[in-house]
Amino acid sequence: MAIIKPFKGLRPNPALASQVASRPYDVLSSDEAREAAANNPHSFYHISKSEIDLPADTDVHSQQVYDRAAANLRTFIKDRTLIQDSQPVYYIYKLVMDGRAQTGLVAVSSVADYNNGRIKKHEFTRPDKELDRINHIKTTEAQTGNVFLAYNDVPEISALIDHWQEHNSPVYDFIADDNIQHTVWVVDAPSVIEDISILFDEKVPHTYIADGHHRAASASLVQKELQATRKIIGAEDPANYFLTTIFPASQLAILDYNRVVKDLNGLSIPAFLSQLDYDFTVEEIGHLPQSPSMLHEFSMYLDGKWYRLVAKEGTYTTDPIGILDVTILSNNILDKILGIKDQRTDKRIDFVGGIRGLKELVKRVDSGEMKVAFALYPVTIQQLFDIADSGNVMPPKSTWFEPKLRDGLITHLI
């Protein structure tokens, strides 16, 4: 069953929480982080994207960047921008976007659970991205990136969390610049902490990584290295655990993760449309953007026009991977027609999170940067669970979760 623990979180001085809180390090560029942190000495970007405090031509993966992150973290602690709880506690983290709320439990999860598959995965990780987080964790001696976990709903856990929110005041409650509300409570009653730990141990056989595969993998690899060099002291050593926020599945929404492609692989527009006819029913729907309305339906933007594509029978299978729309698109259009064999490495394709809307697809095609765009129907949380349970992995860039956890609100020191 799932092993979680309370911990002594490092978190903002309440008066500075909204200034500290930052978007996840991996959803924006160095230039965007530099602009976002301008005139804000308390921004967590000074730790999570510390290259912003170095010359613009600095290699973002150089040791200089990680050393600067560690120095900035020490400064934040020294000047009490960040303070540490004196006793191990849990935290409740509620996010509200467009009127929809999701509430998770912030805890440290067992690296052993990750290693033995009790924490289930649905994506491959890339060694270069792992190495970046490994170096950041080792140099700062902190896990600053939160791993977003999900679990099948347990009514008793939800009732405990709801009760705590109703009867206690939050330590943070603010609306960020993207209009998402972030509210955090500290769960410090020993009896409630014990009840939560027992419920997860008894009622939650597995948790699932929704977002943060590289952060989880890096925590595991750091723990392995520290263990090999005898720097881990006993089973309760903080490095045996990693920072997670765990949400019940019913509260989560996955947005579409769309594709744009630079060219038609040498085909004319009529020839490309003709090739699509083999595997899809193709209908021109005009100049106004229209999202797919059901599974196996795609919206395509090409030459100033929108088309509806519906996959024909025989273009997909019913297994957990084959039934995914990202698989149908990959096999029958990106590979078969456009010659894109590896979406992870092919420079002709790019990915656009659904949070940016269909207007972003139009913009990138109309600018001439891209030739064609495809909007997909979102993957469901149950599909994600089914794939993870089967031991398979999704095609790249299959899921986009919103709202995203803010870095800096809670950090785990190892």
Mean pLDDT for the stretch of residues 188-199: 97
pLDDT computed for residue 373 by the predictor: 98
Q: How far is CA 391 from the centre of its chain?
A: 20
pLDDT computed for residue 149 by the predictor: 97
Task: Name residue 110's amino acid.
Answer: S
Mean pLDDT for the stretch of residues 226-255: 91
pLDDT computed for residue 321 by the predictor: 87
Tell me the pLDDT band of 356, cut-offs 50, 70 and 90: confident
Rounded-to-integer distance, Cα 129 and Cα 126, Å = 5
Determine contact, residues 291/358, Cβ cutoff 8 Å.
Answer: yes
Give pLDDT tens digits for 28-87: 899 999 999 999 999 999 999 999 999 999 999 999 999 999 999 999 999 999 999 999
Rounded-to-integer distance, Cα 304 and Cα 381, Å = 33
Determine contact, residues 184/174, Cβ cutoff 8 Å.
Answer: no
Give the helix/strand (H/E) hosting 285. Answer: strand 280-286
Q: How far is CA 160 from the centre of its chain?
A: 26
Mean pLDDT for the stretch of residues 331-353: 92
Rounded-to-integer distance, Cα 383 and Cα 322, Å = 11
Output DSSP code: residue 355.
G
Q: Which domains does the chain have, with CATH numbers?
A: 4-253+402-413 (no CATH), 257-377 (3.30.1760)
Radius of gyration (Cα) for the chain, nearest Å?
A: 22
Residue 8 reports pLDDT greater than 90: yes
End-to-end CA distance of the chain: 24
Look over the chain and give the mean of its residue pLDDT values, rounded to a whole number: 94
Question: CB within 8 A of 368, min separation 6: which ones?
Answer: none
Q: How far is CA 209 from CA 59, 148, 215, 244, in A?
A: 30, 6, 10, 9
Rounded-to-integer distance, Cα 108 and Cα 412, Å = 8
User: Which one has a higher pLDDT value, 202 or 319?
Assistant: 202
pLDDT computed for residue 143 by the predictor: 98
Q: What is the DSSP string of 179-202?
A: S-EEEEEEE--HHHHHHHHHHHHH
Rounded-to-integer distance, Cα 373 and Cα 78, Å = 49
Q: What is the DSSP string of 2-33?
A: --EE-B--EEE-GGGHHHH-B--GGGS-HHHH
Mean pLDDT for the stretch of residues 147-166: 97
Rounded-to-integer distance, Cα 46 and Cα 407, Å = 11
Cross-strand partners of 110: 241
pLDDT computed for residue 343 by the predictor: 86
Rounded-to-integer distance, Cα 17 and Cα 171, Å = 9
Tell me the pLDDT band of 357, cut-offs 50, 70 and 90: confident
Determine contact, residues 399/254, Cβ cutoff 8 Å.
Answer: yes
Mean pLDDT for the stretch of residues 196-207: 96
The pair phi, psi for residue 119, each rounded to 5°, is: -100, 115
Query: Could you tell me the two tokens for 96?
Result: 């509200």
Q: Find, among 182, 142, 169, 132, the residue nearest to 409 by Cα.
A: 182
Residue 361 reports pLDDT greater than 90: yes
- Quick one: what percent of the chain has pLDDT higher than 90? 82
Question: What is the reported pTM?
Answer: 0.88
**Regarding beta strands 82-84 and 10-12, do their DSSP bridges make them parallel or antiparallel, or are they unpaired?**
antiparallel
Question: CB within 8 A of 188, min separation 6: which ones?
Answer: 85, 87, 89
Residue 294, burial from CB neighbour count under 10 angstroms (0-12, 13-18, 19+): exposed
pLDDT computed for residue 235 by the predictor: 85
pLDDT computed for residue 126 by the predictor: 82
The mean-pLDDT minimum among 122-136, 163-177, 185-199 falls in 122-136
pLDDT computed for residue 397 by the predictor: 81
Tell me the pLDDT band of 406, cut-offs 50, 70 and 90: very high
- Quick one: what percent of the chain has pLDDT higher than 70? 100
